[in-house]
Structure 1
Amino acid sequence: MTTVLVERHPGWLSITLNRPERLNSLNDEMHAALRAALTEAREDSSCRAVLLTGSGRGFCAGQDLSERLRAPDAAAPDLGHTVETFYNPLIRQLRSLPKPIVCAVNGVAAGAGVNIALACDIVIAGKGARFVLSFAKLGLIPDSGGTYHLPRLVGEARARGLALLGEPLSAETAADWGLIWKTVEDENLHEEAFSLAKHLSEQPTFGLGQIKSALNASSHNTLDQQLDLERDLMRRAGQTDDYAEGVAAFIEKRKPHFSGLG
């Protein structure tokens, strides 16, 4: 069975993790397929937004631990190699994609599954979803950017509690804490996610990519550096046809028709 399903829609791409019998836990094959789908989204000029979700009753349970079982006399696995080879490139690819990524969390997101969701741009979850930073219960640390994104999203105190205790966090609490954008009724999740991806695919894509670049840089820039970056990105955005179209549509009181091009 294909571990990642890719479906084309007018202007956007849906990517579905597809190992429902394993709660969409990640193995090497799924990593390769997911990264290939994201590369396709980057290189396809007709794709202006991405929706990432999971099939079945969960979004992603993180690493498939059945692939980490070892005989008593075998050498310990090099998990640093796994992180460097698979997870770090995936998170970098998600964060640097110059197109908005919507993540729809259905059911459980655990371990790296949480942090993959947090690397996306807008996360919505069904009210029955749960987020579980389960690393501590295995003697591990949150990888896939977890120690980076968590304190920035929810503050250090809550990040420490989530990481050290590994207790499930409800979707509604996740939204209240600012971990995700919002929750919706479970039965409406995919309809809401599709609508959001479609909306983003009709917006000024180049400008949205510039917003992503600016927000990504803000975590390490000084205020002066960020002001200079805003100036430079604004200069480039102001030269696009989409900016001209947005102004014209505003003045003419009509819906804009953006090309998405830079």
Structure 2
Amino acid sequence: MADTQLAIERKGEILYGTFTQEKGVHSFSLGLLDQLDGFLARIEDEPAVRAAIITARGRIFSLGTDMTQIETGLGDFRQFRHYLDRFNAVMDRLERAPVPTIAAVNGLTRAGGIEVVLACDVAVIVRGARIGDIHTAQFAIPAGGSTQRLPRRIGVPRAKDLIWSGRFLAADQAVDWGLCHALAEDDALIETAEALAATYIDKPRQCLFECKTLINRSVTMSPADGIELEKQQFLHYVQNYPYVRDAFGAFRDAKRAPVVAS
């Protein structure tokens, strides 16, 4: 059986990564992680890309690590450590991507699948989808970031409940809890994700990246330290990106739109 592949396509200012599988279900192998890493490298290397959408074909987003990989890892812990290091390195790179990243959740999502969603900045989900961590239902614990990113997304008590219970959330509850940002009709998932992206990509890429970096760091800093960092980054940003002056002038004059720079 062929492994899950990542189909990569760019349309205008958005780069799309789509999990595909000829037969079976979408799951993670080392090969798929390499492809996702290549997808992230394109985001970093192509300044014209202003947003990225990760989705999947069919009715499954991702069911996590490939079963063959798990069976091999349980027999060789050094190999399992290598896989987990690789998975987490790619998730960290996804979390730090220099553009807004949107998970477009098209169906059933669990384990490594929810960890991809958590590494993305925001997520939209179709009404018929279900999403959960489910590791404890298999008497296991997460190893791809759920215990760290899920509390920051939905709060500590809800994260404990979802991980301890091993249950799935329906799409509307995932939105209500803040795990996903928006609910989409089954035939309008990508359009909903693109509409969300459109509200971001009319700003300079660096502007969004600076904000993202500060927000991501806020969870590990005191408010006072975070505000000091914010002031420092603001002064550096204004000094080094001249289009900020133009934007202030356009806002003051109210006669023209500011120039959007890369």
**Under a length normalisation based on structure 1, what TM-score does the superposition of the two structures give?**
0.90
For 1:212 and 1:247, locate their aligned partners in 2 and report how far apart those are by CA, in whole Å.
21
Shift in alpha-carbon separation, 1:245–1:14, aligned structure 2, 3 A:
farther
Structure 1 unmatched ranges of 5 or more: none
1:116-171: per-residue Cα shift (whole Å, max 9, x none)? Answer: 11111121111111112111122221222111111122222211111111111011
Q: Which residue of 2 aligns with 1:246?
A: 247
CA contact (8 A) 2:30 2:83 kept: no
Structure 2 runs not aligned, ≥5 long: none
Residue of structure 2 in register with 1:17 after alignment: 19
CA spacing shift, 1:50–1:247, aligned 2, 3 Å: same
Give the whole-Å Cα distance in 2 for the aligned partners of 1:105 and 1:256: 34
Q: Could you say what secondary structure the match of 2:159 adopts?
A: helix
Higher relative contact order (CA 8 A, sep 6+): 1
Residue-pair matches, total = 256
User: Which structure 2 residues correspond to residues 176-215 of structure 1 after superposition, within 5 A?
Assistant: 176-215=176-215
Asked whether the equivalents of residues 9 and 16 of structure 2 are also in contact (C-alpha less than 8 Å), the reply is: yes
The alpha-carbon distance between structure 1 residues 256 and 128, as it changes in their structure 2 partners (threshold 3 A), is farther
SS at match of 2:187: helix
CA contact (8 A) 1:202 1:257 kept: no
The answer to whether the 8 Å contact 2:118/2:153 transfers is: no
With normalisation by structure 2, the TM-score equals 0.90
How far apart in 2 are the matches of 1:96 and 1:157? 26
Aligned-CA RMSD value: 2.0
Identical pairs, percent = 28
TM-superposed deviation, 1:191: 0.9
Q: Residue in 2 aligned with 1:36? A: 38
How far apart are residue 254 of structure 1 and its match? 4.3
Worse overlay, 249-258 or 149-158: 249-258
Q: Which residue of 1 aligns with 2:97?
A: 97
What do residues 189-214 of structure 1 show as CA deviations (whole Å, max 9, x unaligned)?
A: 11111233344333221011011110
2:250 aligned partner, one-letter code: A
Q: Which one is further off, 171-180 or 14-23?
A: 14-23
CA contact (8 A) 2:43 2:98 kept: no
Distance 1:207-1:228 versus aligned 2 partners, 3 A rule: same
Instruction: Indicate conservation of the 8 Å contact 1:174/1:180, yes or no.
Output: yes
| Matches of 1:245 and 1:15, distance apart in 2 | 34
